[in-house]
Chain A
Amino acid sequence: MTGKKFSYEEVKKASMIAKARELYHSNARFMTLVCNDRGDHFELIYYFERESDILEIRTKVRKGEVAQSVTPIYSCAFLAENEVKDGFGLNFMDLAADAGGVLLRTSETETLLKPATGVRPPLFWTPARCYLECPARTNVPRYLREIAEGKFEQAYETILEVNPLPAVLGRICLAPCETACRRAKNGEPISIRALKRFVADRVGLKPRKVHRNPLTGKKVAIIGAGPAGVTAAYYLGLLGHSVVVFDKLPKPGGMLFVGIPKYRLPKDILFAEIEARFKEAGVEFRPNNWIGDLDELFAQGFDAIFVATGAHEGAKLRVEGEEHPRVIDVLDLLREVNLYDRKPELGERVLVIGGGNSAMDAARVSLRLGAKEVWIYYRRTRNEMPASPSEVEAAEAEGIKFNFLAAPNRIMDGGKGKVKVGFIKTKLGKPDAAGRARPEPILGSEFIVEADTVIKAIGQVVTVPDGFKLERDDKGRIKVDPETLQTSRPGIFAGGDVVLGPSSAIESIATGRKAASSIDLFLGGGGLPEPKLELEFIWRPSPDDVINMKRINSPELPVERRVSTFDEVEQPYSVEDAVREASRCWKCDWYE
């Protein structure tokens, strides 16, 4: 804005009167007087308006001293100076008469402008819901913002603060963040998981230049190269320790390798990413090593051990005839396909018992292995199925059929290599301890179904070798201290599925990072910083801009092509689609 320019001057208290006299003779107009409380002294700022500019004169008056008033010369200043006197308790010398010529005495009451008391209106700030729901506390709003601005490398770094496997999790994560997204109320949450995969694919799977702390000389052994083990190895390696990872399988990945079919997670991407992280952190990987005794490792010179062996044994159906050779567990099936690259013959008709994500995987894998008819039997209804809705829809799209409210109670041999399963119809009863309705069998409603293969996919159990000599709880999981993740033996930590029971990948990664921090503290380091959302100046988008933008789903392979191959079903976003999808975010961590 144009206007008069400003000039500044600093004047000592004693020469204020002389300055005022000089201004009076040059016809300056007195504007006002501002007083600031600076702790140990007051700062008085006088404003005068001259022909060409506005003059600002500052003086300092220490508390307890008396200031010089300009009213002998500018008598109209008496109002402003009286106000300062009353407000701040600052006395003026020569505070003169008002313009009427009558001597003016100001009262001696205490100051009226006290420091501001009263309730400050709330400027609180709630962290975004997607951030709060993620077990690993990924900074979701920040990386969505960075994608919307086109800064893909920075988004990758943001994800890597808490999660070293974005390319993997961008394909398989259950995404509790998407269920918690505030846009989910109208049915269209932001595709956070698919955007994570987009960033990981775009930036690439090569090892990048990362700062690694100087070597501390301590050695840590990690048993199990699953998500928890890989995460702990990565962070401990970056903190400067020498890490060795043992695994009984020939390749790393744990459950990510043998428990997830190839059309959801191609194995070369998994291995490339884990190798990149191991290279960046200087981690040594020793495959084909089954560890039975932990004291041996201490004898070899390791200072701490992290147990992350996972849950690799299938739960039992507990019905008669379960040991029939044509009844297999889904984990065994997937291990055959993933590890040995075999294609087992399943016959034409396959039954899958169970209702979780692994049951969907089992059914879809059976289709790709040549089965013509695949049925999924679940003992509750569709609403109680623990599988994610998108998985159920994908299974249906491929032609898999469902049969609800049926539980197996017998398995018999059907001759000629077939198997017969006796089911009984159930109905939903009262909720059990976890809140889900208990299925109660309806007597007299048994029916028998014949099939070539029966796959059971009802969950896993945790098994730990007794040679570890670690204390366990009633479900077989290792007992740990919830803060430090240390087991009953000092120096041995545990995390992942073996502690939580069968759970999701992102929860194991969260425990892996927590264990890395506490192992570092145990070994004398400083630990890792807690993930937190910082208070940055972020502007909330106005509703008109973002409300009408619809969600863009990731493209997928056409259905006919899906069933015959193990190619990946979900395809990545294009750059424009990804930027548009990320700018739909409402920035729930706004703070202006």
Chain B
Amino acid sequence: MSSSEKKYTILPFGPQHPVLPEPIQLTLKCDEEKVVDVNVNFGYVHRGIERAGELNDYKRNVYLVSRVCGICNFMHSLCYCMAIEKLMDLRIPERANYLRVFWAELNRVESHLLWLGLFADAMGFESLFMQFWREREFIMDLQEKTGGNRIITGTNNIIGGVNRDINGELVDDVERTLTKLRGRVKALEPVITKDPTFKKRTVGKGYLPRDLAVKLGAVGPTARGSGIRTDVRMEGYAAYGELEFEPVVEKDGDSYARVLVRFYETLQSIDIMLRMINTLRKMENGPIFVKPKEWPDGETISRVEQPRGELFYYVKANGTPYLERLKIKTPTLSNLPPLLAMLPGSELADVPVIVLSIDPCIACAERYVKIGKGGE
């Protein structure tokens, strides 16, 4: 009497994997190359930032919060500063708003170029990976010239505005670099849209239908790749209200759609930056920050569009220089349930591509959630 029990293989994907930028463990239950079920276990990069945010006073927290994620550091400090400014009822000068949009889009371009490179590398297309990362060098040079450091620019956002200004010759220099960069990135477009190998590995893999995306709370390019038109930039924080912003949306819902969304977003961001530089050049020099008048008091939330989705901050203060509670919700945490829904039914060799297609930045999602052994 042979047992009719089916035997499954349990494969750990991660925490160290050549494809993953940050450690996360997915336990895949496979039935001979097809994934049947998945369990997630993460928390390898927990640093206790929420608790450290209560020890520091509200001004030092700007530097602490920048270091939640290295690539999207400007968005974190922007969101935090916006929350505190809402508590204090400060009105930011116009020039500061334009500068904030400029640096935010710079971070977005850098992050998308980094992701496109990693995605190509995950498929084995190393030369495309090198090309994308070469374009990224221009962006990092721009960040160094305008901000002060290549990746984490620091001191750019302070409560009440920004710390540095872009004027004089630097404006022309930035514009030249950006125009050159746009040409180079656009030259890589045929590889993504027409190359058959690229398409064969991404079309149809990791399918997320539209209603499931809504139910599971997907955000960012993961949701936009499935046809949902959602973007926090449409709300009009900082200077986005003047831009009449339209997000890039694709309908297919598979990994290829997400790649296209991110690629076209890169080009769109470079266009936004060029518009901002033009506006900055025409404006005359003005103040770039205002001084607060009192300590923050009350509780509020603020949201910002990160390259990966919607970033959410909850800040509670009580009139002293110390905050009572700081809560950060990063988009990767919202995108994990859709990932767990995408994986069952796919081939084992497609798992790296699918995992990377939601752009996991586990350093951001640094809450520790211990989920024990599930399964039978």
Contact = CB atoms under 8 A, between A and B. Distances in A.
Find out whether A and B make contact in their complex, taking CB atoms under 8 A apart as touching. Answer: yes
Interface of A: 1-4, 24, 27, 29-32, 34, 36, 45, 47, 54, 56, 74-80, 82-83, 86-87, 98-107, 109, 112-116, 118-121, 123, 537, 539, 592
Closest CB pairs A-B (n = 10): A3-B235, A76-B337, A32-B329, A2-B236, A107-B372, A76-B216, A116-B51, A76-B217, A1-B237, A99-B341
Contacts of B238: 1
Interface of B: 37-40, 48, 50-52, 54-57, 59-60, 82, 86, 214-217, 235-238, 241, 291-295, 301, 310, 312, 314, 316, 321, 324-325, 327, 329, 333-334, 336-338, 340-341, 343-344, 367-375
A79 B371 CA distance: 9
A530 B373 CA distance: 65
A103 to B, nearest CB: 7
B204 to A, nearest CB: 21
Contacts of A3: 235-237
B316 A47 contact: no
B55 A27 contact: no
A105 B372 contact: yes
Of A3, A29, A116, which is in contact with the most chain B CB atoms at under 10 Å from its CB? Answer: A29
A215 to B, nearest CB: 41
Nearest to B368: A112
A100 B340 contact: yes
A104 B374 contact: yes
Contacts of A29: 214, 217
Given A30-B217, A32-B329, A107-B372, 17 more contacts: A1-B238, A2-B235, A29-B214, A34-B314, A47-B301, A76-B217, A76-B334, A76-B337, A78-B337, A79-B336, A83-B367, A98-B39, A100-B37, A100-B38, A104-B374, A121-B55, A592-B59
Contacts of A107: 370-372
B329 A120 contact: no
A1 B371 contact: no
Main secondary structure of the interface of A (DSSP, over half): loop
Of A1, A2, A77, which is in contact with the most chain B CB atoms at under 10 Å from its CB? Answer: A1
Nearest to B291: A539
B369 A79 contact: yes
A123 B57 contact: yes
A102 B37 contact: yes
Contacts of A101: 37
Contacts of A114: 51
B310 to A, nearest CB: 8
Contacts of B370: 82, 86, 106-107, 109, 112
5 contacts: A99-B337, A106-B371, A112-B368, A123-B321, A592-B292
Contacts of A120: 55-56
A514 B375 CA distance: 79
Contacts of A113: 48, 50-51
B374 A105 contact: yes
A397 B4 CA distance: 115
A378 to B, nearest CB: 52
A85 to B, nearest CB: 9
B306 to A, nearest CB: 14
B329 A102 contact: no
Contacts of B48: 113
A112 B50 CA distance: 12
Contacts of A83: 367-369
Contacts of B59: 592
Contacts of A30: 217
Nearest to B60: A121
A111 to B, nearest CB: 10
Contacts of A109: 370
